[in-house]
Amino acid sequence: MKAKVLLVDNHPNIHDSLVQNLRLEGYDVTVAANEQEALHALRDTAFDLVLLDVVMAAVNSWDAFQHIITIRFSLPIIIITGRTDQQWLAAQKGVVAVLEKPLDMPLLLDVMKRALAE
Single pTM value for the model: 0.87
Residue 83 or 12, more confident? 12
Superfamily of chain region 4-117: Response regulator (3.40.50.2300)
Phi, then psi, of 76 in degrees rounded to 5: -65, 135
12-16, 25-29, 30-34, 56-60: which has the minimum mean pLDDT?
A: 56-60
Q: What's the mean pLDDT when you consider all of the chain? A: 84
Check whether 50 has a pLDDT greater than 70: yes
Radius of gyration of the chain (CA): 13
Question: Which amino acid appears at position 54 of this protein?
Answer: V
